[in-house]
Amino acid sequence: MTRAFSAFRTFLPLAVVASLSGCATSWVVDSDVKSFASPGAVAPGATYRFDRLPSQQADGARQESLEAMAGAALDQAGLRRDDTKPQYTAQIGARVTAGLSPWADPWLYSGPWGYGGYGYGGYGYYGRRFYGGGWYGGPVFAPPANPWYEREVSIVLREVGSNRVVYETRARNDGPYNSSAAILPVMFQAALQGFPNPPQGERRVNIELSTAKK
């Protein structure tokens, strides 16, 4: 069974329930996580500050939004932000790419150049209104004609002074829903599962996300 079909089977019943209830819905954000750590390098309660690449400094507002999402997950993992006396620096990244839905008619949407997916960069947090509820909208189940979204978030911790990498983790997710503002924070939580001594190899991390309609 493909990941795309599994996601479709999971989200369709939830979308139907949501349409009938009209008040609240929830779904599981499944992320494929892979982490690398230096054993015993990061102690509980360690302090950090965010570090930005030059490309991330070009759009401070977007990067601040991304860091707020990652910061909540870092705090939950037991780290504490301290911009004056940090023990580590945290470099945050995110990528969102839209491509053709697996259930779209390839003849209908191929055209002379096809339906090319487009990315939003690998080192910053980028959102864009696109179909249905858009970037800030609630959970939108995309019909087959709509795009398929691929997301990836990353966190790299470096020791201040030596600049030695002590922790690196990435989480990937894909599906027809386009509510990045709700999904990316959950992916950061998944990326830090098991911190500071995560399991070896790639693993699937499922976190339920609930959204209430007002």
Is residue 143 predicted with pLDDT exceeding 50? no
Q: Which helix (H) or strand (E) holds 153?
A: strand 147-159
pLDDT digits (tens, 9 = 90+) for 151-194: 999 999 999 999 999 999 999 999 888 889 999 999 999 999 99
What is the pLDDT, as a whole number, of residue 147? 81
What is the pLDDT, as a whole number, of residue 41? 84
Integer angstrom CA distances of residue 140 from 15, 136, 147, 159, 211: 8, 11, 12, 40, 11
User: How many Å apart are CA 191 and CA 70, to the nearest integer?
Assistant: 10
Three-class DSSP category at 128: coil
Is residue 197 predicted with pLDDT exceeding 60? yes
> How sure is the predictor about 107, in pLDDT bands with cuts at 50, 70 and 90?
low
User: How many Å apart are CA 183 and CA 15, to the nearest integer?
Assistant: 16
pTM, whole model, 2 decimals?
A: 0.71
pLDDT digits (tens, 9 = 90+) for 41-76: 898 899 999 999 988 898 888 899 999 999 999 999
> How sure is the predictor about 27, in pLDDT bands with cuts at 50, 70 and 90?
confident
Q: What are phi and psi of 86, to 5 degrees?
A: -80, 150
The mean-pLDDT minimum among 29-38, 100-109, 202-211 falls in 100-109
User: How many Å apart are CA 178 and CA 32, to the nearest integer?
Assistant: 18
